[in-house]
Amino acid sequence: MSTYTVKFWRLLDRSMLKFSKGWIILRYWPFFKLGPGCELGWGVRVKPFWGLMNKRNTILQVELCGDNRIGEGTIFKGSGKIRIGRRSYCSENCIFGVNEQIEIGEDVMIGPAVSIRDTDHVFSSTGIPMMEQGVDVSPVTIEDDVWIGHGAVILRGVTLGKGSIIAASAVVTKDVSPYSIVGGIPAKIIGSRSYGI
């Protein structure tokens, strides 16, 4: 393959990428509020919940406050509001499931394949199929300067304190105090940024 052919394909890839990002914004503009300097990766998708899944008749809202990067293949779904503070980013293939609210502070680092959800299915009755029992919803709050490792899962009602670290593949079911390091399933304190590990 000649040098000119390679340059042509690189140029075409760049122009398609720019077109794709523009297409993403045009297609999903009702759901996004974008601050300055925001970047959406290839394949970012929005899946709003309509009908039975959205009994409150609210619309999914994603607010990026500025200088945010959203990694390739990330999915925003639900009928609630997610707000991501300045300079916070997520890597590729993350999932945000929001039917009430997810609040993410500033300077937050979210690794690849992280799942953050403010909703759980109700399963208290064995006489009714779980899919017919509805959902429990509680907001998730992630304070400033938090690092969430690859593949971690953050469940409903959780607050991650300022400066905390969530280890890779951890499943967080309870609040995490500031500057704590947690890991495991379910996540437990394994160290502290204040006192060492």
In a shared domain, residues 26 and 51:
no
- 197: in domain: no
In a shared domain, residues 10 and 61:
no
- 44: in domain: yes
How many residues belong to the chain? 197
In a shared domain, residues 55 and 93:
yes
Cα–Cα dist 54/135, whole Å: 11
Catalytic residue set: 121
Q: Please report, for the domain that includes residue 89, its CATH number.
A: 2.160.10.10
- In terms of phi and psi (left: phi > 0; alpha: psi -120 to 50; beta: otherwise), the region of 102 is beta
In a shared domain, residues 41 and 25:
no
Cα–Cα dist 8/82, whole Å: 39
Range of the domain at 6: 1-30
pLDDT in tens, 150-187: 999 999 999 999 999 999 999 999 999 999 999 999 99
DSSP 108-152: -EE-TT-EEESEEE----SSS-GGGS-EEE--EEE-TT-EE-TT-
pLDDT in tens, 6-49: 343 343 344 334 444 554 555 677 888 888 999 888 889 899 88
Cα–Cα dist 28/9, whole Å: 28
Query: What predicted TM-score, i.e. pTM, was given to this entire model?
Result: 0.82
